[in-house]
Structure 1
């Protein structure tokens, strides 16, 4: 499934990682160059820097071939414009939009191209299921009901974790490596599994930050 996520804030970044982990083709759009740079170079998530309220930016991100668009910025007016463009100009089959201010909920309907309006307080897993309509593809992400974040990191030739067994890596408390993607195939890792350059790790944690988890493998 090809999915565009507009807005690389905390929610947008989480949903992009979660959907990419579920083997979807995900492109993240944000006008903040620093936010976009955080995802640049990650094979699992494409990045387009620019304002998703501009049709040319959405077109560059692949809106004409998108199955789903998620407007996840922290501005309701932007999410409405993005939703309307997605539906009316690009005919995106499913448009999901974040509602930041509950007083604006009444606006988020078919008149603005929105198929599903999601309050900002909605758990991540519910948003994923609403966006994809296929909960079985994201079973791992049900952990998010307990406040667990899903974080992706990669092993490079310069990582201190390269060549070391997973059991020898000191992870932050409350953190588990759920999957190692090697040569394009996800694997449930054994403790003695040696990590190799090119491995992509899907890590779940209820307390550690993304930076803390990446630091453990650098």
Structure 2
């Protein structure tokens, strides 16, 4: 699937990582040229500097063929404009938008082209349940907004986790393996799933650092 993300802040970059890890073709757009330049080489996505509220920028980013657009800027007005353009002008099948100010939540509906509004706060337990139940884009967006890190780690032949089941791996407290991408296909992992070299794991945690996550598997 081709996915277009407007806004390269923490939320936008994390969802870009998640979608790219699941073998989606991702384009990340941000109006801040310095921010885009700083991300070059750090993300496996196409980066584009420009204002996503400009139809020409959206078209250049691939909105005509995108299956998903996520508006994650820090400005509700911008997110609404981007969503409306995506749905009405480019007929993007699925549009999700971040709500920065809860008082504006009522605006984020089909009238502005929004299929799913991403609220500012959702209970952590609900977020974990959604993320572990499926590779759902909106659930992962909510995780990022709630301060939960989405971290990718890969299993190699030298990894200590290779050949072991998930149940045998001591994970840091507050950490869950949300998805295992095997041979390009994301799967919902069971405790008895045995990890193989080549597996890519998407891990969510609200306490552990990226280094601690990698140490548990490598």
TM more than 0.5? yes
Aligned-residue offset at 1:63: 0.7
Q: Secondary structure at the match of 2:40?
A: helix
Task: Tell me if the contact between 1:147 and 1:206 (Cα under 8 Å) persists in the aligned partners.
Answer: yes
Task: Tell me if the contact between 2:18 and 2:202 (Cα under 8 Å) persists in the aligned partners.
Answer: no
Instruction: Indicate how the Cα distance of structure 1 residues 211 and 49 shifts in structure 2: closer, same or farther if over 3 A, else same.
Output: farther
TM-score by length of 1: 0.64
Distance between the aligned counterparts of 2:178 and 2:102, measured in 1? 35
Instruction: Indicate how the Cα distance of structure 1 residues 56 and 181 shifts in structure 2: closer, same or farther if over 3 A, else same.
Output: same
Task: Tell me if the contact between 2:17 and 2:43 (Cα under 8 Å) persists in the aligned partners.
Answer: no
Name the structure 2 match of 1:89.
89
Aligned-residue offset at 1:97: 1.6
Aligned-residue offset at 1:5: 2.1
Task: Tell me if the contact between 2:135 and 2:186 (Cα under 8 Å) persists in the aligned partners.
Answer: no
Q: CA RMSD in A?
A: 4.2
TM-score by length of 2: 0.64
Name the structure 2 match of 1:158.
none
1:17-41 CA-partner distances (Å, limit 9, x unpaired)? 4445566544333342256337523
Alignment of 1:30-109 (within 5 A): 30-31=30-31, 32-33=35-36, 36-37=39-40, 39-41=42-44, 46-51=45-50, 52-109=52-109
Q: Aligned residue pairs: how many? A: 197
Name the structure 1 match of 2:160.
165
Instruction: Indicate how the Cα distance of structure 1 residues 123 and 211 shifts in structure 2: closer, same or farther if over 3 A, else same.
Output: farther
Aligned-residue offset at 1:207: 0.9
Distance between the aligned counterparts of 2:193 and 2:90, measured in 1? 47
Distance between the aligned counterparts of 1:36 and 1:191, measured in 2? 34
Q: Residue 7 in 1 paired to residue 7 in 2? A: yes
Name the structure 1 match of 2:207.
207
